[in-house]
């Protein structure tokens, strides 16, 4: 998963998941994934559904998980959005953005296989499938036909398991690299 502006060139327009009929929104800073064949990509462009171009695969998005009594807040630790937070927006999409007066969204992280809350100190594995939930709404994926998906967070979203890869533990959250 990464931001669309890290994976593409050109304007990324997505459908709002919470309005009917949906309205268009700027998808540049939305988290998502492109996972399709070259034929699917070309088909999407031929139909006019895909109006942007792919760029070379970006480096994986590195996130910092900061825990408090309220849950986890996620911060971007790599790429062009370094220092930004992960936000569940009122329009239902999950974006990264600068941290201003509002802290990043609070997330509950549970292990996919057990349903238990994530306890990093008790986890010895390097990878773990997890679910993220924000204020009782699960993080899910909306289809970006025919090339991928984008992250959404609302009560009607079907939860999706994400693979969390631990790159480093016990990192100072103010450390610049």
Kindly list the domain boundaries of the chain, sorted by start residue.
Answer: 2-52+60-165
Q: Angle CA(104)–CA(52)–CA(6) in degrees, nearest 5?
A: 40
On the question of pLDDT at 76 being above 80, the answer is yes
Q: What is the pLDDT of residue 171?
A: 79
Cα 164 to Cα 131: distance, rounded to the nearest angstrom: 10
Q: What is the pLDDT of residue 175?
A: 53
Residue 139 DSSP one-character state:
E
Architecture of 2-52+60-165 per CATH? Answer: Trefoil (2.80)
Cα 154 to Cα 140: distance, rounded to the nearest angstrom: 8
pLDDT band of 59, cuts 50, 70, 90: confident
C-alpha dihedral over 76, 82, 85, 89, to 10 degrees? -100
Cα 78 to Cα 28: distance, rounded to the nearest angstrom: 16
Cα 52 to Cα 74: distance, rounded to the nearest angstrom: 28
- pTM of structure: 0.91
Cis peptide before 161 (omega within 30 of 0): no
pLDDT digits (tens, 9 = 90+) for 114-140: 999 998 878 889 999 999 999 879 999
Highest mean pLDDT (candidates 27-31, 117-121, 168-172): 27-31
Q: What is the pLDDT of residue 174?
A: 59
pLDDT band of 8, cuts 50, 70, 90: very high
Q: What is the pLDDT of residue 161?
A: 96
């Amino acid at each position: 998963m990464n931001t669309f502006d890290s994976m593409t060139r050109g304007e990324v327009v997505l459908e709002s998941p919470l309005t009917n009929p949906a309205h268009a929104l700027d998808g540049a800073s939305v988290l998502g994934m492109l996972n399709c064949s070259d034929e699917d990509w070309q088909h999407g462009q031929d139909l006019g559904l895909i109006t942007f171009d792919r760029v070379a695969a970006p480096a994986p998005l590195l996130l910092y998980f900061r825990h408090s009594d309220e849950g986890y807040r996620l911060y971007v630790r790599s790429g062009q959005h370094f220092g930004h937070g992960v936000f569940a927006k009122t329009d239902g999409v999950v974006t990264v953005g600068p941290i201003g007066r509002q802290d990043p969204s609070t997330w509950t992280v549970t292990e996919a296989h057990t349903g238990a809350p994530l306890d990093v100190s008790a986890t010895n594995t390097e990878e773990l499938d997890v679910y993220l939930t924000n204020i009782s709404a699960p993080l899910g994926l909306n289809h970006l036909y025919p090339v991928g998906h984008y992250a959404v967070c609302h009560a009607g979203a079907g939860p999706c398991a994400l693979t969390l890869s631990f790159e480093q533990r016990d990192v100072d959250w103010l450390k610049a690299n």
